Amino acid sequence: MENPIDRFIGIKITHVAAIPGTQKIYMAWDSGESAVLEISEWIETDRHFRCLADEKAFQSVKVGPFQSAAIWLDRLDVGADTFRLLAQEQGTVIHEQRKVG
C-alpha cells in the first residue's frame, strides 16, 4: 500500500553513511544515483553544523522519516533534494546503480 505522504516527497534517500576520518558522507537515492558528499564547509561555517566536528556526532547520521532527509543526533536534518543539489554543485560523481540478474 502506498504511503499518502509519498506524493509530496520528491527524491528519497535509500542509504546514508559517514565516511570515517573525513567530513564526507556517502548517499544513495531512490533514483538509483549515489554520491560522496563533502560537507566540511557546512561544519566550519554554519553554527548549526559545528557540532558535527565531533567524529561521534558526525557518524550518527541516518536516514530520516519518510526517507526525505538525513538526520544527525536526532535533531539536525538536511533534505534529500538539498544533498542532490550539493552533489551537482560539487561535481561529485553520481552514477546509476545497476541491478545484476
* Side chain identity at residue 96, one-letter code: E
Cα separation, 101 vs 98, in Å, equals 10
Say what the pTM is: 0.82
pLDDT at residue 101 tops 50: no
What average pLDDT does this structure show over 75-81?
Answer: 94
pLDDT classification of 87: cutoffs 50, 70, 90: very high
pLDDT digits (tens, 9 = 90+) for 52-68: 999 999 999 999 989 99
- Give me the residue spans of the domains in the chain: 4-92
Fold assignment, 4-92: NE0471 N-terminal domain-like (3.30.2020)
Contacts of 9 (CB under 8 A, 6+ apart): 66, 67, 68, 80
The pLDDT mean for the chain works out to 87
> pLDDT digit string (tens) for 26-54?
999 998 889 999 999 999 999 999 999 99
